[in-house]
């Protein structure tokens, strides 16, 4: 569902191609007028991400989120030139799609991740999207639409997203808007983007190879997608093919490039991660109904009595936990917890299952040991603190969170956990202050200011120290909010 903001914004831009002709065309000779400034890009990107992050299909799961970001950063680190900041996220959606948005935000659908058969294939798609961002295709496309049309269209797109999430009628409006973009406009857009596709492929292939992935993954995945589409194996055309025109010619181009670098490929060591397979299993376990997921993994594991792939055992244990069959989940997971170097994902699931069973002491023990071995694993940090709070050890959790926010001052989830603990101890000012910090880190300044306003209006249960921090923070964030609103207003997207 989230892919819609971009798709919609794009479709609407395409839909206006005829009206764009009446507006003054940008001077193509002058590059500066054909691109958005970095600040403008950031403003538009933040505005869209504010909607995306609260969408129910935006995946906030720390293990999935951290995986896609580490994959993206590994590819990005292989790029030339000044380091550009790009963030990555996963959207719960069965359709095959990946997309880049203005301001450096790249989203990947769960459906696409499940369709890949190796990490190099997934890396190929992500690298291609990074190529679009590094080449500023989105920004150039938007800027090329003439300011008058794209700013009001961005505003309309956002209004539609808002109405969609509030009512089922909104969904129909959006669908209609996307459909009305029409084939003709699509065609003109395709001519425009074919060049960009080639550029993104070229940049993507370089990143893939430098980052230690198999560049053939890009060609094989695109080829499989194209064939499956021709044989109508997809329900309707996958969104990816609509936004990224894919032709046999393009695939041949990619294969050509790979052929040229054949010797390097034959001598290179492809390094794929365990996390790729675990995250895929995790996504599979979360998809469909819990019983469907259990059935899927049981079928995968059938006949595999000796060599049971760890990710499939993990997937089955996760699906069983999701179905609240905690004993069965535990006995499935147990073999993965033996031996040296147990993966933190298994330890995290172990902690969660014990926590679900209300075996609080055992759960805490698992988390403590696991955190000693993997102090930076976010899922364990959150699981540990949730468990402490469930066991009524709120003060211990607060002390731990205090410590951790000092080390990771940008982690929104830590502040959310802090807010929950503060609420349990009746510290209302501190609760709303922590909630404000969480919103601020999630890019929602207006909600952060709201929380601080609530905090500063508290009469009971407030101490002087908490209150004075809340007041000065409120002044600070109000100024940031005013600046943001002014910037959005200038772009007509507020």
Q: Could you tell me the smallest distance in angstroms from the CB atom of residue 466 to Zn ion?
A: 50
Q: Could you tell me the smallest distance in angstroms from the CB atom of residue 246 to Zn ion?
A: 8
Edge-to-edge order in the sheet of strand 98-101: 87-91, 105-109, 98-101
Strands 105-109 and 87-91: parallel
- Give 101's strand partners: 105
- Of 203 and 349, nearer to Zn ion (C-beta) is 203
To 10 degrees, what angle do helices 182-210 and 216-230 make? 150
Q: Could you tell me the smallest distance in angstroms from the CB atom of residue 137 to Zn ion?
A: 8
Q: Is 466 exposed, middle or buried (0-12, 13-18, 19+ CB in 10 A)?
A: buried
Segment interacting with Zn ion (CB under 5 A) among 114-122, 145-153, 244-252, 456-464: 244-252
Residues contacting Zn ion: total by CB under 5 A: 3
Q: Could you tell me the smallest distance in angstroms from the CB atom of residue 244 to Zn ion?
A: 3
Segment interacting with Zn ion (CB under 5 A) among 30-38, 242-250, 278-286, 430-438: 242-250
Q: Could you tell me the smallest distance in angstroms from the CB atom of residue 245 to Zn ion?
A: 8
- Of 121 and 197, nearer to Zn ion (C-beta) is 197
x/- track of binding to Zn ion for residues 66-95 (CB under 5 A): ------------------------------
Q: Could you tell me the smallest distance in angstroms from the CB atom of residue 489 to Zn ion?
A: 32
Identify which of 241, 264, 239, 204 has the alpha carbon closest to the alpha carbon of residue 72.
Answer: 204
| Rounded Cα gap, residues 219 and 389, in angstroms | 49
3-class secondary structure for 366-408? HHHHHHHHCCCCHHHHHHHHHHHHHCCCHHHHHHHHHHHHHHC
How many beta carbons lie within 10 A of that of residue 452, not counting itself?
Answer: 28
Segment interacting with Zn ion (CB under 5 A) among 164-172, 243-251, 410-418, 480-488: 243-251
What are the strands, taking DSSP E only, across 39-122? Answer: 87-91, 98-101, 105-109
C-beta of residue 394 within 8 angstroms of C-beta of residue 417? no
- Of 106 and 333, nearer to Zn ion (C-beta) is 106
C-beta of residue 200 within 8 angstroms of C-beta of residue 127? no
Q: Could you tell me the smallest distance in angstroms from the CB atom of residue 239 to Zn ion?
A: 12
- Of 200 and 474, nearer to Zn ion (C-beta) is 200
Identify which of 313, 309, 310 has the alpha carbon closest to the alpha carbon of residue 297.
Answer: 313
| 180-to-18, 184, 186, 228, 328 alpha-carbon distances in Å | 13, 10, 10, 26, 50
Segment interacting with Zn ion (CB under 5 A) among 66-74, 236-244, 335-343, 458-466: 236-244
- Of 243 and 435, nearer to Zn ion (C-beta) is 243
Instruction: Establish if 140 lies at the interface with Zn ion (CB under 5 A).
Output: no
- Of 128 and 280, nearer to Zn ion (C-beta) is 128
Within residues 147-206, the interface with Zn ion by CB under 5 A covers: 197, 200
For residue 177, how many C-alpha atoms fall within 13 Å in the half-sphere facing its CB? 26
Within residues 459-488, the interface with Zn ion by CB under 5 A covers: none
Per CB under 5 A, the list member of 136, 140, 244, 374 interacting with Zn ion is 244
Q: Could you tell me the smallest distance in angstroms from the CB atom of residue 241 to Zn ion?
A: 10
- Of 220 and 385, nearer to Zn ion (C-beta) is 220
- Of 197 and 411, nearer to Zn ion (C-beta) is 197
At residue 23, the 3 state secondary structure works out as coil
C-beta of residue 315 within 8 angstroms of C-beta of residue 285? yes
Q: Could you tell me the smallest distance in angstroms from the CB atom of residue 206 to Zn ion?
A: 15
Within residues 98-127, the interface with Zn ion by CB under 5 A covers: none
- Of 123 and 379, nearer to Zn ion (C-beta) is 123
- Of 90 and 200, nearer to Zn ion (C-beta) is 200
Q: Could you tell me the smallest distance in angstroms from the CB atom of residue 236 to Zn ion?
A: 19
- Contacting residues toward Zn ion, per CB under 5 A: 197, 200, 244
């Amino acid at each position: 569902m989230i892919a819609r903001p971009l798709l919609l914004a794009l479709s609407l831009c395409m839909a206006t191609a005829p009206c764009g002709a009446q507006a003054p065309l940008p001077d193509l000779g002058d590059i500066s007028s054909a691109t958005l400034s970095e600040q403008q890009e950031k403003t538009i990107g933040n505005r869209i991400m504010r909607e995306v992050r609260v969408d129910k299909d935006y995946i906030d799961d720390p293990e999935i989120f951290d995986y896609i970001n580490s994959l993206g950063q590994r590819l990005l680190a292989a790029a030339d030139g000044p380091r550009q900041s790009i963030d990555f996220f996963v959207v719960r959606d069965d359709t095959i799609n990946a997309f880049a948005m203005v301001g450096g935000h790249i989203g990947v659908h769960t459906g696409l991740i499940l369709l890949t058969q190796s990490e190099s294939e997934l890396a190929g798609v992500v690298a291609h999207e990074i190529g679009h961002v590094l080449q500023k295709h989105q920004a150039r496309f938007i800027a090329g639409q003439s300011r008058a049309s794209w700013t009001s269209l961005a505003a309309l797109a956002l209004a539609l997203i808002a109405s969609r999430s509030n009512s089922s009628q909104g969904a129909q409006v959006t669908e209609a808007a996307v459909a009305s973009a029409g084939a003709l406009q699509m065609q003109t857009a395709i001519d425009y983007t074919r060049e960009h596709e080639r550029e993104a492929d070229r940049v993507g292939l370089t990143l893939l190879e430098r980052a230690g992935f198999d560049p053939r993954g890009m060609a094989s995945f695109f080829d499989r997608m194209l064939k499956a589409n021709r044989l109508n194996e997809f329900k309707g055309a996958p969104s990816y093919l609509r936004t990224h025109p894919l032709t046999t010619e393009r695939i041949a181009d990619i294969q050509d490039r790979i052929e040229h670098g054949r010797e390097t490929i034959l001598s290179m060591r492809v390094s794929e991660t365990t996390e790729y397979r675990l995250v895929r299993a995790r996504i599979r376990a979360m998809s469909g109904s819990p019983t469907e997921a259990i059935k899927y993994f049981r079928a995968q594991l059938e006949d595999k009595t000796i060599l049971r792939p760890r990710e499939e055992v993990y997937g089955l244990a996760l699906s069983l936990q999701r179905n609240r069959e905690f004993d069965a989940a535990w006995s499935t997971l147990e073999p993965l917890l033996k031996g040296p170097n147990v993966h933190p994902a298994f330890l995290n699931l172990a902690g969660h299952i014990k926590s679900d069973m209300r075996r609080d002491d055992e759960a805490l023990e698992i988390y403590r040991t696991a955190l000693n071995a993997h102090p930076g694993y976010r899922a364990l940090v959150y699981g540990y603190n949730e468990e402490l709070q469930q066991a009524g050890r709120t003060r211990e959790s607060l002390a731990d969170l205090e410590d951790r926010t000092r080390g990771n001052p940008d982690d929104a989830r830590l502040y959310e956990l802090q807010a929950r603990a503060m609420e349990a101890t009746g510290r209302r000012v501190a609760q709303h202050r922590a909630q404000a910090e969480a919103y601020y880190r999630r890019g929602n300044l207006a909600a952060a200011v709201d929380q601080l306003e609530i905090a500063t209006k508290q009469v009971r249960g407030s101490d002087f120290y908490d209150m004075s921090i809340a007041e000065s923070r409120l002044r600070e964030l109000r100024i940031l909010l005013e600046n943001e609103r002014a910037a959005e207003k200038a772009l007509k997207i507020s």
